[in-house]
Amino acid sequence: MSLDGTYDEANIFAKILRGEMPAAKVFEDDDVLAFMDVFPQSRGHTLVIPKRSTARNLLEEHPERLAALMKGVQRVARAVRAALTPDGITITQFNGAAAGQTVFHLHVHIIPRWETAPLGRHGEGGMADPVELKALAGQIAAKIA
């Protein structure tokens, strides 16, 4: 899907927001939902999405909503750091299929990194064990400040 197009209400993240698909939820407030990525590029890979948005990517989001999204990203990233003590954290966001985007509801990746562990390839990793994801979500959620 190119940068042009219309929001598809049947995308996976819209289904998660409506409660039609399960997710290992980490954090939720009025503006954002954070949950574990099921094909993680590292242990603790977490996604943050705006809740009341039909923006497919960053370019489409209302500028006044971006601050709330990034506030959520920082809050969750701090909790990831506190819970998992990574050496670094990669924060990424893809716009359009040509850039690597596969789900067309705006989202930000929080990917904890360790010096000893190579980064998994985006969209090419195996599916995580749901039990392990739930445990990780709980560990991170417990550190939300």
CA pair distance 52, 42, nearest whole angstrom: 28
The interface mask with ligand AMP, positions 69-108, x = CB under 6 A, is: -------------------------x-----xxxx-----
> Does 27 participate in binding ligand AMP (rule CB under 6 A)?
no
Q: 33 or 79, CB closer to ligand AMP?
A: 33
Smallest gap from Cβ 16 to ligand AMP, in A, equals 6
- Structure tokens given for 46: 């977490």
Q: 12 or 141, CB closer to ligand AMP?
A: 12
CA pair distance 40, 26, nearest whole angstrom: 15
> Does 23 participate in binding ligand AMP (rule CB under 6 A)?
yes
For residue 8, the tally of other CB atoms under 10 A from its CB is: 14
Smallest gap from Cβ 50 to ligand AMP, in A, equals 14
Cα dihedral sign, 113-116-119-124: negative
The per-type count for the chain, helices as H runs and strands as E runs, is 3, 5
For residue 85, the tally of other CB atoms under 10 A from its CB is: 9
Q: 64 or 133, CB closer to ligand AMP?
A: 133
Known catalytic residues? 107
Enumerate binding residues for ligand AMP (CB under 6 A). 12, 21, 23, 37-39, 47, 94, 100-103, 123
